[in-house]
A and B are shown apart, each in its own frame.
Chain A
Amino acid sequence: MEMLHADGIRKTFGNLEVLRGVSLTANKGDVISLIGGSGSGKSTFLRCLNCLEHPTGGEIRVDGDAIAFRPDGHGNMEPASKTQMRRIRARLAMVFQSFNLWSHMTLLENVIEAPVHVLGVDRKQAVDEGLRLLQRVGLYDKRNTYPAFLSGGQQQRGAIARALAVQPLAMLFDEPTSALDPELVGEVLKVIRELAEEGRTMILVTHEMSFARDVSNQVLFLHGGLVEDAGPPAEVFGNPKSERLARFLGSFH
């Protein structure tokens, strides 16, 4: 069952063409990793999927719901209906490189914020679910702590709990371990791995090659705003068709 489909996504910043037509289809339970060098457009592509960046061209469909676009007056497209965009965003949970937990809220308050105020879930029910999710990512004891008093790994696990709380159709991870100290990467990857194993639909921008190889069922290698190579991880990592990909993978050894 198709959860997320993006077709021919293009994005230009001024004269710079960052994306030159990138497509992707995520079916339920797919874990798709986007890899590539810096400037390859992988983060921009991810941010186009929930329109944090306005794409210049292309089509996006979430759970069969095609996003209606109109020109935004700056050469790009903006969602034509804010209501539709909010509805879609609320179910495409994003996990950011720099966590972006809300600093004036405790961890639990962060987790129940979107369910209560965006989805209209009953507060008590949201709290019960929030506590269960915090338990799950190993942060139950920290439920009343403010983000500034948590380690990066804890903040990111909290951000994952916040993302899970909206019962997402698909989760978007934007380099979730890139801002972490090396010794904290493992605890976050462990949580993401568990989510992959329970059949969550996830799209993951990452520099963790061995992790991408382990958890994904599809890998896209982006270069210069295009998908240069794509396929199951065993194929992409074991037998890279493009020379650039081979060189890129070689730089990790």
Chain B
Amino acid sequence: MIWSPSSGSIELLTAGGWGSAMLVGLARSLTIALGAFALGLVIGIAGALGKLSGGAVARQALDLYTTVVRSVPELVLILIVYFAGADLINGILTALGQAKIDFNGAIAGIVVLGVVQGAYSTEVIRGAILSVPLGQIEAAQAFGMSSWLTLRRITLPAMLPFALPGLSNLWLIAMKDTALLAVLGFGELTQVTRQAAGTTKAYFTFFFAAGCMYLLATMVSNLLSRRLEAWATKGVAHV
């Protein structure tokens, strides 16, 4: 099918409800991405701290986690975590005599992508924490701060300028990785687009529109992350 920028394409998007279905898909994609990114951050902070100051067992377990996640293709990982994870949890539930649960699409998507994001976040945050001059952490101790207070007031905010470029990147990846969930049918943007295109046979129109939505989301993200970076690096002297 050859795409022509006729009124037909616009009509296809507005009529028949496909356009609004895509917007719902986009919202779902963004929700899953946001959740996965946040979960990844939590895993990342915990993972980085574990790698930097945990015991030998914790460090090895985390090494295994980041190595495996970063070497297996994400699509494969998503399928593994989703199907194996669901089997595992339901297996445990059955063994305990509980009823099986049906995984809510969005939550499952967030967990699956969050586990992947967490591995990358761990490395980004670990590197950023290592960039904080040790003297600043020592000063916190010398003034009587507890480990938790030092982490909250000194280490995390001081590492932010070093972590933000990597984390912005991870956010963009999270957004695009939601498309991989199309194979599982979470009703996110790519899956909706495929349905729309398959039904109407207007492949170019719908995938082009979907591409534009991803692009727009990325551009808005870039704008926000630039602001965030400017805010976080206000204490950094620019050469």
Contacts and interface: CB of A to CB of B under 8 A. Distances in A.
Interface of A: 50, 52, 82, 85-94, 96, 98-106, 113-114, 117-118, 146-149, 162, 166
Given A102-B136, A118-B149, A52 B142 contact: yes
Contact of B235 (A92, A113, A148): A148
A101 B136 CA distance: 6
Contact of B146 (A86, A88, A148): A86
Contacts of A88: 144
B157 interface: yes
B237 interface: yes
Nearest to B234: A146
B135 A117 contact: no
Contacts of B42: none
A113 B143 contact: yes
B236 interface: yes
A104 B235 contact: yes
Given A96-B135, A96-B139, A113-B153, A103 B235 contact: yes
Contacts of B146: 82, 86
Contacts of B142: 50, 52, 89, 92-94, 96
24 contacts: A52-B141, A89-B143, A89-B144, A90-B144, A96-B135, A96-B138, A96-B139, A96-B142, A101-B139, A102-B140, A102-B154, A103-B136, A103-B158, A104-B232, A104-B235, A113-B143, A114-B145, A117-B145, A118-B145, A146-B236, A148-B235, A148-B236, A148-B237, A149-B237
B133 interface: yes
Given A105-B235, A146-B234, A146-B235, A100 B141 contact: no
Nearest to B232: A104
Nearest 4 Cβ contacts at the A-B interface: A90-B144, A100-B135, A146-B235, A148-B237
Most buried by A among B140, B141, B142, B237: B142
B160 interface: yes
Interface string B130-166: 0001011011111111100100011001101100000
